[in-house]
């Protein structure tokens, strides 16, 4: 969304003179809309948790629940005290905001509170993407330290480049990010949320290394099956539901355009799921559930940047391509001996790239080579910055407090070594529960 369009919608000024009550009603409707859609995005945390649980082994289930629960708790405080001000505060040359860093003195009847809540849950989404990629071999303390880093600094600073000026429409901050000034478009976060999270996940898996047993001594891959694919499928349904807050909610106001945005948000993952299923069917001779549901997620990520600008027919194409990218992106990482436990990098990073470029390719206003160049520059800059900052962060965490669980800890399971318990004590006995 362009900042000037957002300001116009929030003003909600009718053509004829209106009573103050009409403006107040519109303001209240906008605030409720933002909060309700933000609540849907918040529930995506449960979807990410279920997805990661299903794709991984039972002996790490408590660890995964702890990470997904605590990364939002840590992220909330970091975004409150530091991140929001860096992302939407008064801009310094379009690079980062300078606060104010505390909004407790803001009147209760301003829409800034709704805006803050909406942006918080987006920040939490970027953070939790990382958990799945690094699952089953990452120490809990090291993970939480990085969560504070990405929610307090990395995501807000990079996000400022593309969205920093949005705070002005809510009476906060001032000045656009440098990508905003170039005309960069990312409606709901294919790059700001998903590419940042995906790039950080890629940095994390490179630093922490693969799980024990993921690759044989000769370099060939070994399958590590998840313990509950029905749970993973439920997680994707929850994520899909949450995306109806993610994309339509990014209008940040009651807007008739939300209907088509919701339709595009339905079409793209449906096409992505079919593309992922058939791509893997052709590759291995049978359909695969994991690739099918990741294809749907790829379609959701791919449509996020452009759902307000493309026709439904284009949403089909965007989803189909995203499903193929998610599938063959996973196979590419496997060939490169990069262990991504849930396919987060191809889904969020690779499909995020595709979604950003699709803004210029499929825009109903027509294809624009200039816009394509701006989009390519923007997503490349966002990816490079997120990857670089995250790699340095993970590297330092690994050297200072340790990031990778030992071989014995991985064999026993992080539930037992990090949290002293089992997720399924009545059903897990002996070696059966530890593998």
Cα(70)–Cα(45) distance, rounded to whole angstroms?
Answer: 11
What's the whole-number average pLDDT of the chain? 93
Q: pLDDT band for position 14 (50/70/90)?
A: very low
pLDDT in tens, 143-193: 999 999 999 999 999 999 999 999 999 999 999 999 999 999 999 999 999
Position of tokens 């649980």? 53
pLDDT in tens, 410-433: 999 999 999 988 898 876 544 444
What does the pLDDT average to over 350-378?
A: 98
Directed axis angle between helix 258-284 and helix 289-304, to 10°? 140
Task: Indicate if the pLDDT at residue 278 is higher than 50.
Answer: yes
Cα(130)–Cα(70) distance, rounded to whole angstroms?
Answer: 13
Strands 96-97 and 91-92, bridge-based pairing: antiparallel
Cα(206)–Cα(398) distance, rounded to whole angstroms?
Answer: 12
Task: Indicate if the pLDDT at residue 322 is higher than 50.
Answer: yes
- pLDDT of amino acid 98: 94
Q: Return the sign of the alpha-carbon dihedral for residues 314, 315, 316, 317.
A: positive
Q: Which CATH number fits domain 3-11+24-434: 1.10.3430.10, 3.20.20.70, 1.10.150.110, 1.10.260.40?
A: 1.10.3430.10
Task: Indicate if the pLDDT at residue 206 is higher than 90.
Answer: yes
- pLDDT of amino acid 219: 86
Task: Indicate if the pLDDT at residue 338 is higher than 60.
Answer: yes
The answer to whether the predicted template modeling score (pTM) of the entire model surpasses 0.85 is yes
Q: Which residues pair with 138 in a beta bridge?
A: 404
Lowest average pLDDT, out of 53-67, 78-92, 94-108, 275-289, goes to: 94-108
- At 199, list the tokens: 């790039």
Closest C-alpha among 63, 330, 297, 296 to residue 223:
330
- At 51, list the tokens: 């997805």
Calculate the alpha carbon distances from 267 to 239, 260, 262 in Å: 15, 10, 9
Q: pLDDT band for position 4 (50/70/90)?
A: low
């Amino acid at each position: 969304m362009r900042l000037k369009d957002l300001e116009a919608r929030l003003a909600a000024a009718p053509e004829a003179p209106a009573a103050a009550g009409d403006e107040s009603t519109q303001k209240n409707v906008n605030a409720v809309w933002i909060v309700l859609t933000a609540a849907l995005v918040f529930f995506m945390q449960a979807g990410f948790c279920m997805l990661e649980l299903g794709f991984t082994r039972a002996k790490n289930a408590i660890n995964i629940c702890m990470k997904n629960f605590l990364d939002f708790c840590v992220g909330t405080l970091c975004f409150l005290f530091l991140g929001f001000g860096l992302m939407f505060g008064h801009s310094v040359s379009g690079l980062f905001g300078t606060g104010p860093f505390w909004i407790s003195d803001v009147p209760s009847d301003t829409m800034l509170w709704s805006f803050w809540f909406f942006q918080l849950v987006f920040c939490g989404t970027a953070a939790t993407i990382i958990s799945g990629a690094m699952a089953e071999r990452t120490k809990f303390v090291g993970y939480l330290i990085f969560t504070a880093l990405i929610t307090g600094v990395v995501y807000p600073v990079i996000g400022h480049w593309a969205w920093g000026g949005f705070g002005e429409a809510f009476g906060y901050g001032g000045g656009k990010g440098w990508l905003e000034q170039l005309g960069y478009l990312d409606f709901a976060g294919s790059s700001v949320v998903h590419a940042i999270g995906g790039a950080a996940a890629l940095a994390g898996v490179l630093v922490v290394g693969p799980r024990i047993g993921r690759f044989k001594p000769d370099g060939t891959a070994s399958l590590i099956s998840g313990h509950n694919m029905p749970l993973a499928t439920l997680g994707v349904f929850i994520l899909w539901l949450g995306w109806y807050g993610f994309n339509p909610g990014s209008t940040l106001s009651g807007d008739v355009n939300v209907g088509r945005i919701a339709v595009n948000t339905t079409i793209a993952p449906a096409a992505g799921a079919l593309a992922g299923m058939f791509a893997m069917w052709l590759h291995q001779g049978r359909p695969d559930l994991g690739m099918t549901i990741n294809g749907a997620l790829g379609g959701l990520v791919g449509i996020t940047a452009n759902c307000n600008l493309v026709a439904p027919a284009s949403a089909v194409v965007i989803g189909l391509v995203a499903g193929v990218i998610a599938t063959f992106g996973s196979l590419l990482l496997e060939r490169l001996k990069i262990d991504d436990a849930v396919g987060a990098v191809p889904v969020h990073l690779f499909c995020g790239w595709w979604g950003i470029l699709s803004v210029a390719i499929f825009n109903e206003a027509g294809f624009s080579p200039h816009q394509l160049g701006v989009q390519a520059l923007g997503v490349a800059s966002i990816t490079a910055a997120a990857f670089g900052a995250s790699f340095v962060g993970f590297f330092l965490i690994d050297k200072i407090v340790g990031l990778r669980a030992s071989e014995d800890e991985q064999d026993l399971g992080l539930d037992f070594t990090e949290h002293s318990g089992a997720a399924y004590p009545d059903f897990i006995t002996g070696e059966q529960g530890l593998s």
